[in-house]
Amino acid sequence: MRPAAHRLRRLAWTLLWLAALFALLAWAWGRPFMASPRMLWDVSRAPPPAMLPVPVDGVRAKQIADTFGAPRDADRTHQGVDIFATRGTPIRSATRGVVVAVRDSGLGGRQVWVLGPGRERHYYAHLDDWAPGLSTGQVIRAGDVLGFVGTSGNARGTPPHLHYGIYGAQGAYDPLPLFRAGAASTTVR
Ligand SMILES: [Zn+2]
CATH topology of domain 61-185: Glucose Permease (Domain IIA) (2.70.70)
Per-residue pLDDT tens over the stretch 132-189: 999 999 999 999 999 999 999 999 999 999 999 999 999 999 999 999 999 988 755 4
Q: pLDDT grade, residue 75 (50/70/90)?
A: confident
**pLDDT value of residue 189:** 46
Q: 10 Å Cβ neighbour count for 85?
A: 20
User: Rounded mean pLDDT of 107-132?
Assistant: 98
Number of CB atoms found within 10 A of residue 25's CB: 10
Confidence at residue 73, expressed as pLDDT on a 0 to 100 scale:
82
Q: Give every CB contact of residue 70 below 8 A, 6+ residues apart in sequence.
A: 77, 78
Q: Domain limits of the chain?
A: 1-30, 61-185
Count CB-CB contacts under 10 A for residue 33.
7
CA of 185 to the centre of ligand 1 (A): 26
Taking the complete model, does pTM exceed 0.85, yes or no?
Answer: yes
Percentage helix, strand, coil, to 5, in the chain? 30, 30, 40
Per residue, the 3-state secondary structure of 154-171, as one string, reads HHCCCCCEEEEEEEECCE
Q: Ligand 1 centre from 134 Cα, in Å?
A: 22
> Tell me, what's the pLDDT at 177?
97
What residues have their beta carbon closer than 5 A to ion ligand 1? Answer: 82, 163
Q: How far is the CA of 98 from the centre of ligand 1 (A)?
A: 23
Instruction: Give the SS3 label for residue 152.
Output: coil
Q: DSSP for 63-125, please give it.
A: GS---TT-EETTTEE--SEEEE--TT-EEE-SS-EEEEEEEEETTTEEEEEEE-GGG-EEEEE
pLDDT at residue 16 greater than cutoff 70: yes
Q: What is the pLDDT of residues 20-67, one digit of tens each?
A: 999 999 999 999 899 999 999 999 999 999 999 999 999 999 999 999
* Ligand 1 geometric centre to CA of 96 (Å): 22
SS3 22: helix
